[in-house]
Amino acid sequence: MKLYYADHFVLPLPTGHRFPMVKYARLRERLVGSGIFSPDDLCVPDAAPDVDILRAHDAAYLQRVCNGTLDTAEIRRIGFPWSPEMVERSRRSAGATLAACRTALNEGCGVNLAGGTHHAHRDFGSGFCVFNDAAIAALALRAQERIRRIAIVDCDVHQGDGTAAILAGQAGVFTCSLHGAKNFPFRKQLSDLDIDLPDQTGDEAYLNALDGALDQVFDGFAPDFVIYLAGADPYAGDRLGRLSLSIEGLAERDRRVLARCRDRTTPVAIAMAGGYANPIDDTVTIHFNTVKIAAECYEHEQR
């Protein structure tokens, strides 16, 4: 099973910035240090090309991002200061999800150790998201005409508003989001399936809701391919989460999603999405568990 990681994922940020950028490097270190994966299992993704980005994003927006001509309000809405490194990071993150999809088509599962930038809309970025990797990847798969039905299963605690907006009415794509009802974004978009969860939802209620959502995705829509956003932020200790899942509850979430994909022989590409726990090592543990469970589901050979 291939994992996609680039040092570009760790964007230099001003001191005190609230985004936990270091989690990506720590996740990589922990995965390699675990002995489950070797450095050879980690692949550096190419940057997503314009042709793929432009299926999901407006050309003028792409140009403003790349040329550094976003206005102050646009930069504030994204939440990262503009820099060439921000552009490269955003392209590489989308490229990693594209690469994970290609791997999943050949091997059953592929993993982006970043990604899940689901707040990016067609013509603006938001909430630490510049380009919407899930929408870019879904539309790229559809353009290849190899995949007829794609489901995006978004388990980040925040609704995938950008994904829902970009893919609204798109034939052959089903968007499913399980998220906190009262959390960001406060103006929700309409996914094909939205599961709104009250504050402090715990393991049992969450997993019951997840099972019902997966029934609708797999029995109702019957996808040929799944893109799974395995956010760490439903965790009880997450600063931005407002739900109350345990680390084991989140691991069980991953088992259930990935078991459905495996049992239906549906290829799955996984992105890490959000995670803002204090201490940050809790977020790294949750992301690590996601990748470890994927390796177990898809019988990754330990080196």
Among residues 6, 213, 26, 204, the alpha carbon closest in space to that of 93 is found at: 6
Question: Cβ atoms within 10 A of the Cβ of 131, count?
Answer: 26
Using one digit for the tens of pLDDT, what is the confidence trace for 228-269?
999 999 999 999 999 999 999 999 999 999 999 999 999 999
Rounded CA separation 122/141 (Å):
18
Among residues 168, 150, 130, 131, the alpha carbon closest in space to that of 269 is found at: 150
Q: Which residues of the chain have pLDDT under 70?
A: 300-303
Pair type for strands 193-197 and 225-229: unpaired
Rounded CA separation 162/171 (Å):
17
SS3 sequence of 204-225: HHHHHHHHHHHHHHHHHHCCCE
> Is there a contact between 269 and 275 (Cβ–Cβ < 8 Å)?
no
Among residues 192, 260, 181, the alpha carbon closest in space to that of 221 is found at: 192
pLDDT at 199: 98
Q: What is the pTM of this model?
A: 0.97
pLDDT at 303: 41
Pair type for strands 225-229 and 150-154: parallel
AA identity, residue 283: T
AA identity, residue 213: A
3-297: CATH, from 3.20.20.140, 3.40.800.20, 3.40.1280.10, 3.40.640.10:
3.40.800.20
Among residues 5, 12, 78, the alpha carbon closest in space to that of 43 is found at: 5
pLDDT at 302: 45
Rounded CA separation 224/220 (Å):
12
Measured in degrees and rounded to the nearest 5, phi and psi for residue 186 equal -80, -20
Strand runs labelled E in the chain: 3-4, 42-43, 109-112, 150-154, 173-180, 193-197, 225-229, 268-271
* Domain definitions of the chain by residue range: 3-297
Q: Give the chain's radius of gyration (CA, Å).
A: 17
AA identity, residue 220: G
